[in-house]
Amino acid sequence: MNRFYFAKIIILVLGLFTPNTIQARELPELIDILSKKAPKGYYPKDADYQLFKYICNSKNCFNVISVESVTSSKKAIRRIAVFSGNNDYLGSYSGFNELPQSANGNVLEFPKSEFGYKIVFVSEQPPETVWIDGEVYGFEKVIH
């Protein structure tokens, strides 16, 4: 077993037993990164944020934040921001009807639907398109 793979397993196992207080300390740092790297207005400070840590496959680990905000015109905005395991902002998915509920291994799970309810991270980058509850969503990459 190579060292890189072993390190990912350790990170994944530690992530399963990490108390929520540690996640809370990292969430503000990631929100700060979003405010600097994402298009203006994408991630309002008063939005509801939830962190899903250590979504790992054999090639990479990701940290994901789900974001929900309601505009002044009462329109809900739901996005998923994707970070590398090193907390580099990679991009986002936008327009969901519902937000993810959990992360297990390399899968981000939404409420169950016969028309798709998982984002499966299988490569070094997030999937370019995903199918959730019958809708197709594209990944908006950050332009460096």
CA distance 73 to 51: 26
Give the pairing type, strands 118-120 and 107-109: antiparallel
Dump pLDDT digits (tens) for 59-84.
999 999 999 999 889 989 999 999 99
88 — pLDDT class (breaks 50, 70, 90) = very high
71, 46 contact by CB (below 8 A):
no
- Domain residue spans in the chain? 3-141
Tokens for 123, please give them: 């490569």
Tokens for 61, please give them: 């680990």
**What is the percentage of the chain residues whose pLDDT exceeds 70?**
82
